[in-house]
Chains A and B, each alone.
Chain A
Amino acid sequence: MRPIIYLMALNEALQQEMERDPTVFVTGEDVGQHPPMGVTLGLLQRFGPQRVVDTPISESAILGLAVGAAAAGLRPVVEIMFLDFLFVAFDQVINQMAKMRYMFGGKAKLPIVVRCPCGGGYGMAAQHSQSLEAMLCHIPGLKVVMPATPYDAKGLLTAAIRDDNPVFCLEHKKCYTLPGDVPQEQYEVPLGVAEVKRPGSDVTIVATSYMVHEALKAADELAQRGIDAEVIDPRTLLPLDMDAILASVRKTHRVVVVHEAVKFCGVGGEISAQVAEAAFDALEAPPLRVAAPFSPVPFSAPLEEAYLPNAQKIIDAVSSVVQARTE
C-alpha cells in the first residue's frame, strides 16, 4: 500500500488489466494523445495506437464500436469525456448494449466498461456537471459503479473490466485528486458489495460518490454533538447491496440517503422505498434524502454552492431524523 490519487488508481487499474489481458483496449475522444482528465495518461506510449484508440467526436460510433468489438470477443474500455455527453448516444446504451444479451437469447456477451467523469463543483455549468446515474440504473442489463476512494476506484474498475456485462464507471471530478492508500498489486472490489465507511449506531447515512466524503465530514461533526452516524457507501448502484443498507438501518433505526443528483426520481428514492418496504418496523423516523434541487446545475459560484449537497445539509437532515426519535 502507498498513497496515490484517485485518477492514478484508475490509471493503474487500466495499465495492469491491459498488461494482463491483451483483449482489453481503451478508446474515446483524446484518450491517447491528450487525455482530458489524465486517467489514460501514458497508455498510448505504453500500449500503442492499436490498443489506445483516439476517436472522432462521435459518441454513438464510439459506443457502437464498443458493442461490436465486445460481441466479437474484445473487452473495450470506453471513456465518454463527460457523463453529460453519454446522452448524445443513448440508443447504443439503452437499446443495444443493455439488451443484446437478453433479446438474442443469451448468446451475446458484452464485457464493456464505459467510464464517465460526472458531478459538479467546478463551474462547468449545466452540460458538463450532471449526476445522471439514476437514468442508467433504470435499465436492466447494465451495471453502475461510483467509486468514492482511490482504493475503490482501482478495485471496482478492475472488477468492471473483468465482468462480462456492460458496466458504467462514474467518476466524480472532485474525487480525481483525492489521495488514498492503494495496493500496488491487482485486486478486485466486487461489484454489488457496499462498504461501511464509518461504523456508528445512531443513524445510517447512505452516501454515493463524492458525497461519501461530505458524509464522513458530517459524521465527524455530528460525533462532537454526541450523534454516532454510520456511513455506508453502496459503491455499486446497480446491482444495489440492499442487504448491507438494511442491516445498518435495523441497527440504527434511522436513515438519510445522500447523493449529488437531483432528488426527484433519484437513487435515493429507490433506497428509501426499499428501506420502507423491508424495514418499516425498524424505522423510528421517516427516511430522508439529501440531494440536489430540481434544476439544471448552475454556473455562478454562489448558485452552484447552493445547489450542491454538502456536509452541512447532511447534518441538518440527520439532526431532524434524530430529533424525530426524541419527540
Chain B
Amino acid sequence: MDIPREKLIEMYERMVTIRRFEEGAAGLMRDARIKGFIHLYAGQEAVAVGACFAIGKDDYIASHHRGHGHLIAKGGDPKNMYAELFGRRDGYCHGKGGSMHIADLDLGILGANGIVGAGPPIAVGAAFAAQYKGERGVSLCFFGDGATNQGTVHEALNLAAVLKLPVVFICENNLYGEYTRQDRHQTVKDIAERAKAYAIPGVTLDGMDVLAVHEAVSEAVERARRGEGPSFIECKTYRYFDHQGVGNGAADRPAEEMEEWRAKDAIVRFRRHLIQTEALTEAEAEDIDRRVATRIDEAIAFAEASPLPTEDDLLTDVYA
C-alpha cells in the first residue's frame, strides 16, 4: 500500500500522542489530580491509528471503555480530553462524562462507552444512516475480545450483514477480557473465525503493526463504500496498563508474556520502519517526540486551569 510520506509522519505523531496522553493521564491519576475509572489504551496505538487513518472526517466511529486512543486517532484534541478527565467545563462533555464517556459528535465519534458490547449496535445505526442518506459514509466499530461474548455484538454483526451495512467491525484482541485471559473466556483462538457465522469476510492480523491494520481496514472500508457490506478485522494487540487504573497488570499476567509484547511495541517498530525507509530521520523523529511532549504538557496545564462546572450545570442537557 502506497501511503504518502506526510500521512505516515502524521500517523506516527498520532501514535506518540496517544502514548504520551495515556502516560500523562496515568501520572495525573497516581498524583490523585484526577479521579474515577480510567482504562488506558497504551500498547494498542497501532489499531486506533491504523484504522482511523483509513476513514474521513464525516465517517463515524464507536469506541469502547478504553477509548482515549480512538478519540485522538480520529482527531480529538488532548486539551479538551484532559479537561474532561479533570471534570472541567472545557472537557468534551463539560465534565459530565469523564474518561469512559468522552465523545465528540462533531468529529463523528459516537462515544467511548462504559458498557462492554454496547457500541456495535450503535455503530451499525450510524452505518444505516449513511446508507439511508445515500452517502458513501462508513462506520468503524471498535470492541475488545471480551465484548465478543456479549449478545449485542452478535446481534450487531448479524443485522449489519443482513442489511449489508457499511460498517467495519474491529476487534482489539488484547488477550484479556478485563482480567480473564482469552482461553478462559472463549474457545476460539482467532475471533475473526466468527465472521463465518455471518457470511462476511474476517481476517486476523498483527495489531502491533500499524501498516497492516491500516491496509486491512482500508480494504474493508472500500468494500463497505462499494455497498458490499460489513467486514470483521481482528487485531492481536496488548495493553500495557491494567484493565483499569494505572498498574501494569503484572498481578494477572505472566512476566514473560508482558516482555514478549513489549518487545513488539508498535511505536518503536513504526519509528524504526520510517527511519529505515528514509521517510523520517532520527532527528525529525526526535523533533516529533519533543513536540508531542510539549503539546501534552500544555494540554494538562490548560485542563487544570479550566473552570469547574457549577450546580447550575447539573440539570442542563438531560433533555434536548
- Residue on A with the closest CB to B94? A105
Question: Which of B60, B97, B124, B129 contacts A64, CB < 8 Å?
Answer: B124
Task: Say whether A107 faces chain B, with CB atoms less than 8 Å apart.
Answer: yes
Task: Please give, as numbers and ranges, the residues of chain A lying within 8 Å of B132 by CB-CB distance.
Answer: 25, 50-51, 69, 74
Task: Say whether B130 faces chain A, with CB atoms less than 8 Å apart.
Answer: yes
Question: Which of B110, B118, B320 contacts A95, CB < 8 Å?
Answer: B118
Question: Which of A72, A107, A141 contacts B125, CB < 8 Å?
Answer: A72
Task: Please give, as numbers and ranges, the residues of chain A lying within 8 Å of B115 by CB-CB distance.
Answer: 91, 95-96
When the two chains form their complex, are residues A71 and B105 in contact, meaning their CB atoms are under 8 A apart? yes
When the two chains form their complex, are residues B96 and A103 in contact, meaning their CB atoms are under 8 A apart? yes
Mark each residue of chain B from 114 to 136: 1 if its CB lies under 8 Å from any CB of chain A, else 0.
11001011111111111011000
Task: Say whether B21 faces chain A, with CB atoms less than 8 Å apart.
Answer: no
Bound CA span A103–B118, Å: 15
- Residue on B with the closest CB to A163? B320
Question: Which of A72, A103, A143 contacts B130, CB < 8 Å?
Answer: A72
Task: Say whether B78 faces chain A, with CB atoms less than 8 Å apart.
Answer: no
Chain A residues within 8 Å of chain B by Cβ, number: 44
When the two chains form their complex, are residues B91 and A68 in contact, meaning their CB atoms are under 8 A apart? no
When the two chains form their complex, are residues B133 and A106 in contact, meaning their CB atoms are under 8 A apart? no
CB distance from B80 to the nearest CB of A (A): 10
Task: Please give, as numbers and ranges, the residues of chain A lying within 8 Å of B163 by CB-CB distance.
Answer: 53
Q: Which of B3-11, B148-156, B201-209, B249-257 is the interface stretch?
A: B148-156
Bound CA span A76–B122, Å: 13
CB distance from B162 to the nearest CB of A (A): 6
Bound CA span A65–B158, Å: 12
Bound CA span A65–B132, Å: 12
When the two chains form their complex, are residues B125 and A101 in contact, meaning their CB atoms are under 8 A apart? no
When the two chains form their complex, are residues A105 and B92 in contact, meaning their CB atoms are under 8 A apart? yes
Taking A56-B158, A91-B118, A104-B97 as contacts, is the C-beta distance between A68 and B129 under 8 angstroms?
yes
Task: Please give, as numbers and ranges, the residues of chain B lying within 8 Å of A103 by CB-CB distance.
Answer: 93, 96-97, 101, 111
Task: Say whether B106 faces chain A, with CB atoms less than 8 Å apart.
Answer: yes
CB distance from A43 to the nearest CB of B (A): 15
- Residue on A with the closest CB to B123? A68
Task: Please give, as numbers and ranges, the residues of chain A lying within 8 Å of B105 by CB-CB distance.
Answer: 71, 104, 107-108
CB distance from A189 to the nearest CB of B (A): 18
CB distance from A4 to the nearest CB of B (A): 30
Mark each residue of chain A from 138 to 161: 1 if its CB lies under 8 Å from any CB of chain B, else 0.
001101000000000000000000
User: Which of A56, A68, A100, A143 has the most chain B CB within a 10 Å cutoff?
Assistant: A68
Taking A58-B158, A106-B94 as contacts, is the C-beta distance between A68 and B151 under 8 angstroms?
no
CB distance from A101 to the nearest CB of B (A): 6
How many contacts between A and B, using CB within 8 angstroms? 140
When the two chains form their complex, are residues A105 and B320 in contact, meaning their CB atoms are under 8 A apart? no
CB distance from B22 to the nearest CB of A (A): 21
Task: Please give, as numbers and ranges, the residues of chain B lying within 8 Å of A73 by CB-CB distance.
Answer: 129, 133
Taking A68-B126, A73-B129, A92-B121 as contacts, is the C-beta distance between A106 and B316 under 8 angstroms?
yes
Chain B residues within 8 Å of chain A by Cβ, number: 47
Task: Say whether B62 faces chain A, with CB atoms less than 8 Å apart.
Answer: yes
When the two chains form their complex, are residues B162 and A56 in contact, meaning their CB atoms are under 8 A apart? yes
When the two chains form their complex, are residues A95 and B152 in contact, meaning their CB atoms are under 8 A apart? no
When the two chains form their complex, are residues B128 and A69 in contact, meaning their CB atoms are under 8 A apart? yes
When the two chains form their complex, are residues A101 and B128 in contact, meaning their CB atoms are under 8 A apart? no
Task: Please give, as numbers and ranges, the residues of chain B lying within 8 Å of A61 by CB-CB distance.
Answer: 121, 124, 152, 155-156, 158-159
Bound CA span A44–B52, Å: 37
When the two chains form their complex, are residues A64 and B122 in contact, meaning their CB atoms are under 8 A apart? yes
Task: Say whether A164 faces chain B, with CB atoms less than 8 Å apart.
Answer: yes
Task: Please give, as numbers and ranges, the residues of chain A lying within 8 Å of B320 by CB-CB distance.
Answer: 101, 109-111, 164-165
Taking A102-B317, A105-B92 as contacts, is the C-beta distance between A67 and B129 under 8 angstroms?
no
Task: Say whether B1 faces chain A, with CB atoms less than 8 Å apart.
Answer: no
Task: Say whether B234 faces chain A, with CB atoms less than 8 Å apart.
Answer: no
Task: Say whether B139 faces chain A, with CB atoms less than 8 Å apart.
Answer: yes
When the two chains form their complex, are residues B111 and A100 in contact, meaning their CB atoms are under 8 A apart? yes
- Residue on A with the closest CB to B128? A69
Bound CA span A101–B103, Å: 11
Task: Please give, as numbers and ranges, the residues of chain A lying within 8 Å of B283 by CB-CB distance.
Answer: none
Bound CA span A246–B91, Å: 41
Chain B contacts with A in 87-109, Cβ cutoff 8 A: 91-97, 101, 103-106
Q: Please give the residue numbers on chain B whose beta carbons come within 8 Å of chain A beta carbons, in ascending order.
A: 60, 62, 91-97, 101, 103-106, 110-111, 113-115, 118, 120-130, 132-133, 139, 151-152, 155-156, 158-159, 162-163, 316-320
Question: Could you list 22 examples of A-B contacts with CB < 8 Å?
Answer: A56-B155, A58-B159, A60-B151, A61-B158, A62-B159, A64-B121, A64-B156, A67-B122, A68-B125, A68-B129, A69-B132, A71-B122, A72-B130, A74-B133, A101-B319, A103-B93, A104-B92, A105-B93, A106-B94, A110-B320, A165-B319, A165-B320
Q: Please give the residue numbers on chain A whose beta carbons come within 8 Å of chain B beta carbons, in ascending order.
A: 25, 50-51, 53, 55-56, 58, 60-74, 76, 91-92, 95-96, 100-111, 140-141, 143, 164-165
Q: Kindly list the 7 A-B residue pairs having the minimum CB-CB distance in the complex, ordered from nearest.
A: A64-B121, A68-B125, A72-B129, A106-B317, A105-B93, A61-B155, A164-B320
Known A-B contacts: A61-B156, A68-B139. Give 17 more (CB < 8 A): A58-B155, A62-B159, A63-B121, A64-B125, A68-B121, A68-B126, A69-B125, A71-B122, A71-B126, A74-B128, A95-B114, A102-B317, A104-B101, A105-B96, A106-B317, A109-B320, A141-B318
